Structure 1
Amino acid sequence: MNLDMIAQAAGLFAVTNIDDILLLSLFFAQGAGHRGSARRITLGQYAGFAAILAVAVAAAFGATFLPETAIPYLGLLPLALGLKSAWQAWKHRGDRDENGAQETTGDSGPRTLEVAAVTFANGGDNIGVYVPVFATAGLGGMSVYAVVFLVLVAVWCLAGRFFATRPVIAEALSRWGHVLLPLVLITLGLLILIEGGAFGW
């Protein structure tokens, strides 16, 4: 493997996915105390990113599974999930303890498909960056990029979980995560829609 290409792939992943660490931290905080939530979040992140990778590779080979005009409308996914999360937070507003933290039991928490949908929607603009890089890298180069990206997804999940479990951050996310997650998802959805020109602006 070419070390320069590995470094380029790592840099490209970091630049295009830095915002995912915040989302992952919020998901891990939301899943704290829920059995199996870390596994579901990690699976969802992998599923969403694998879908981004698949679309980018297909587009690099000339296929058009996802028309460019459809990308802005991916913002509807985090917007809908943010509204759902806000509704759930409102519905369970009386279930919080005296410190404002959600009382958690069972195997609830973020669902795999929800995490995958947010990851894919948030990575819609990544596809536009990856396609020309993949197209010029060739099959061997694409394989290097794919392997590095998939390894770094695990690193991103570990980083998100790390931040979500730091005492000060964990306390803040436990107290305010039920407000932050829907707010971040709704904002993300609106930004994707507006910046992509979904409303013709």
Structure 2
Amino acid sequence: MGELPEDIIPLPQKFYEQPTLDLAKALLGCLLVKETSEGVAAGYIVETEAYIGPGDMAAHSYNNRRTARTEIMFQRSGLTYTYLMHTHCLFNVVSGGEENPEAVLIRALEPRFGIEYMKNKRGIEDLPSLTNGPGKLTKALGITIEDYGHPLTDPPLYLATGFSPESISVGKRIGIDKSGEARDYLWRFWITDNKYVSRHQKSEYVYKVKRT
């Protein structure tokens, strides 16, 4: 699959120590990288969802629910929270800081490096369908439940600088209909008009990203 350019290096710990909603937006355009024995696969994050426990009924940590699965959410920001939903592994970035169990779900990627490897892992050729879902992207990159707890500042699983989107769309999260008023929180973010987003729905609003 080849190697990544030398200037692609993990983002620092400080990046993860911003408020969860800010982090969910800042993650858009970042490069998610997974190194394996077969090479490297990576893609740009194009869609995220924030989960802010313990007051978020859609969060695994609602009411400070502390279990073997959610324990990592109570640790420092920037760690990997992977869990199984049905037969799919989902990947989250722990946020909120210690004892504040929050996380950001990565919902979709735009494939960038190791595309043939990802196609083989998924068994499909259609590029837009390769990583346009939280279970699809983990399978494509080789992210597994074994990555639980891994610090995202270190290889083999990490985030790196990618690109800054011109605009971000904001809307309701997906698949949480039984979570009371939390189902209406506008905590889903995606790069406007990106064809790799998991589900295209009407946004509540769109805003331009300020350049710094």
Query: Is the structural similarity TM-score above 0.5?
Result: no
Work out which of the two has the higher radius of gyration on C-alpha atoms and give 1 or 2.
1
TM-score by length of 1: 0.29
TM-score by length of 2: 0.28
